[in-house]
């Protein structure tokens, strides 16, 4: 019998096993932080094991180093490719980085191995919410709860959906149920604070959020969300200077979270400026023949800088029996290949009309895939960032009508700065006040240049006018779209909850038409001062007075 000597491979293997047993004992004993610290040291010593990699990844994510944590999770998954828990963990990491479509694929993988794995169902639902697929998300939350009635992610997911549709009471009830099962669950605390804010309990929300922020356990994304809600609570309590500083802090947190994805890209701001330069002084003749009309009776694009009223107009038009709308789904295919930089954009502008047919067909195919039945109806494609695609709209769909939602630039930029959106390149740009103002200016310049170069006919729809004279302004919109006005348009608020509006406007619209957001910039005139010179020309051209009202 051979006895292993100290320092041999057998000895090292036994020492490694002992360390793994120590980590496992700490983990099963409830000392997750201690287990993660031991795992980190084991990994540094070259111990490659699923448990070590998973715990070390969690420690990295806790420190805000998501990209490094994801690398370790992928290594763990490679060691145990049939473990649904690891697919689930990779999906959670991708979701934390805002890569929700990729996250859904990982949760799908987990469920392929175990269709009854409730955590993957609940987590997939959360990613589907971020992608705007709310009906699918609700089904997954319900399935997860059927499998595990105490699943906190599913309970809170349904609470958050209730809050989105403006049902703060239901959101509160479900959030409290979640916290009864998991008292320190950060997302449920956030949902409950959101419900308190919606019901006018800003002081209670502030206290709850400060308690969450004092806890070292929430992850960077949860802390960033808590800071954003805290800013909202401070705003409700008229502590405007504190609110603005808190929104700036939350935006810096989101910048740190998403910097690995967006910092190295060509910014939307730079692209818009380059394309505007390319359009200036140019004039493009209309197509030799109109593009195919597609299945719709008529085609409408509803655009406008974020927080300018596009969601309100879309919700109003959805009440019309002759109208079908599609909210913020990307149906243009190959946009990057056509207008992704100045050289490609200029080549696109020179393309013969026949070369554009595949892009038109691709667009209508995507519309159908998104579930919009446009056949024989007025089809409204609502997307604020389609204002960055006006040349594409002009060339592909020259007969389409364009509704351009507008709002006082000062309110618009402030609102973009203070609200949380699904992350994208333009949203990343708006995480600073200066960045939001720069993007607004560039977007408006690009829209003007596109209007002149392509002879676009756009109907301006000022939010302030719509709120002041709802019937009069909606009659103008209906006339422009060739449809009869109906009093049913006034009933939009009752339908918001059922439609699951994803934008920050949803809960507000569920309460009906109101002027609470008009002139809010005055409360923040001091912090806004550095960007006022950039916005002043647009304020004047929009006809806004010092109080934010149209003059």
CATH of 268-542, one of 3.40.50.10860, 3.40.50.2300, 1.10.150.240, 3.40.50.300: 3.40.50.300
* Confidence at 4, pLDDT banded by 50, 70, 90: very low
What does the alpha-carbon distance between residue 158 and residue 443 come to, in Å, rounded to a whole number?
36
pLDDT at 76 over 50: yes
d(CA 521, CA 541): 18
Question: Rounded CA gap, 25 and 31, in Å?
Answer: 9
In this prediction, residue 282 carries a pLDDT of 92
- The count of other CB atoms within 10 Å of the CB of residue 332 is 19
Determine the pLDDT at residue 178: 95
pLDDT at 190: 97
Tell the residue number behind the tokens 């140019």, with chain if given.
282
Backbone phi, then psi, for 375, in 5-degree steps?
Answer: -55, 120
pLDDT of residue 334: 86
**Per-residue pLDDT tens digits for 11-46:** 778 888 888 999 899 888 888 888 889 988 988 888
pLDDT of residue 261: 84
Question: What pLDDT digit, counting tens, does each position of 213-265 carry?
Answer: 999 989 888 999 999 999 999 999 999 999 999 999 999 999 998 888 898 88
Q: What average pLDDT does the chain have?
A: 90
The answer on pLDDT for 377 being more than 60 is: yes
Confidence band for 7, pLDDT divided at 50, 70 and 90: low
Burial of 88 (0-12, 13-18, 19+ CB in 10 A): buried
Q: pLDDT tens digit string along 130-180? A: 887 888 999 999 999 999 998 999 999 999 999 988 889 999 999 999 999
Q: What is the pLDDT of residues 275-304, one digit of tens each?
A: 999 999 999 987 765 555 689 999 999 999
* pLDDT at res. 506: 52
Give the percent of the chain with pLDDT over 70.
93
Specify the higher pLDDT residue, 494 or 485: 485
Residue 98 has pLDDT above 90, yes or no: no
DSSP code at position 284: -
Is the pLDDT at 333 greater than 90? The verdict is no
> Could you report the per-residue pLDDT of 190-219, keeping only the tens digit for each?
999 999 999 999 999 999 999 999 999 898
Looking at residues 446-455, what average pLDDT do you find? 96
Only one residue has tokens 């967006």, namely 262
| Stated pTM of the model | 0.84
Confidence band (pLDDT; 50, 70, 90) for 3? Answer: very low
The domain limits of the chain are 268-542
């Amino acid at each position: 019998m051979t006895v292993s000597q100290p320092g041999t491979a057998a000895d090292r293997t036994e020492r490694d096993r002992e360390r793994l047993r120590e980590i496992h004992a700490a983990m099963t004993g409830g000392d997750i932080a201690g287990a993660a610290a031991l795992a980190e040291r084991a990994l540094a010593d070259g111990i490659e094991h699923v448990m070590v990699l998973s715990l070390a990844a969690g420690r990295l994510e806790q420190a805000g180093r998501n990209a490094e944590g994801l690398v370790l999770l992928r290594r763990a998954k490679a060691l145990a490719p049939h473990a649904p828990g690891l697919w689930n963990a990779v999906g959670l990491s991708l979701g934390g980085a805002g890569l929700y479509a990729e996250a859904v694929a990982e949760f799908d993988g987990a469920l392929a191995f175990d269709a009854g794995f409730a955590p993957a169902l609940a987590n997939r639902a959360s990613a589907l919410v971020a992608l705007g697929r709310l009906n699918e998300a609700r089904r997954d939350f319900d399935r997860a709860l059927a499998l595990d009635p105490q699943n906190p992610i599913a309970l809170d997911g349904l609470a958050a959906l209730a809050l989105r549709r403006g049902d703060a009471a239901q959101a509160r009830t479900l959030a409290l149920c979640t916290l009864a099962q998991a008292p320190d669950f950060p997302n449920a605390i956030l949902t409950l604070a959101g419900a308190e804010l919606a019901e006018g309990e800003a002081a209670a929300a502030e206290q709850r959020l400060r308690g969450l922020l004092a806890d070292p356990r929430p992850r960077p994304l949860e802390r960033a969300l808590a800071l954003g809600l805290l800013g909202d609570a401070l705003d409700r309590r008229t502590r405007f200077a504190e609110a603005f500083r808190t929104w700036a802090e939350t935006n810096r947190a989101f910048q740190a979270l998403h910097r690995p994805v967006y910092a190295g890209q060509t910014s939307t701001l730079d692209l818009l400026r380059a394309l505007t330069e390319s359009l200036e002084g140019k004039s493009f003749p209309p197509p030799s023949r109109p593009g195919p009309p597609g299945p719709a009776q008529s085609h409408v694009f509803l655009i406008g800088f974020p927080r300018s009223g596009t969601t309100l107009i879309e919700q109003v038009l959805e009440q019309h029996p002759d109208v079908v709308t599609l909210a913020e789904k990307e149906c243009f295919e190959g946009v990057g290949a056509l207008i992704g930089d100045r050289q490609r954009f200029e080549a696109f502008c020179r393309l013969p009309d026949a070369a554009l047919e595949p892009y038109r067909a691709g667009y209508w195919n995507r519309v159908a895939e998104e579930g919009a039945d446009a056949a024989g109806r007025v089809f409204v494609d609502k997307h604020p960032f389609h204002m960055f695609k006006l040349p594409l709209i002009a060339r592909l769909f020259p007969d389409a009508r364009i509704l351009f939602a507008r709002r006082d630039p000062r309110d618009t930029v402030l609102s973009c700065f203070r609200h949380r959106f699904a992350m994208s390149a333009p949203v990343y740009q708006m995480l600073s006040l200066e960045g939001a103002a720069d993007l607004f200016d560039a977007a408006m310049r690009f829209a003007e240049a596109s209007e002149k170069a392509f002879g676009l006919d756009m109907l301006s729809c000022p939010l302030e006018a719509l709120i002041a004279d709802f019937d009069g302004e909606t009659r103008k919109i209906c006339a422009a779209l060739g449809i009869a006005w109906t009093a049913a348009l006034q009933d939009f608020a009752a339908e918001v909850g059922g439609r699951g509006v994803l934008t920050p406007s949803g809960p507000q619209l569920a309460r009906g038409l109101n002027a609470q957001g008009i002139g809010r910039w005055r409360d923040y005139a001091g912090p806004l001062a550095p960007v006022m010179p950039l916005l002043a020309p647009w304020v004047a051209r929009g006809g806004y007075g010092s109080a934010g009202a149209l003059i």
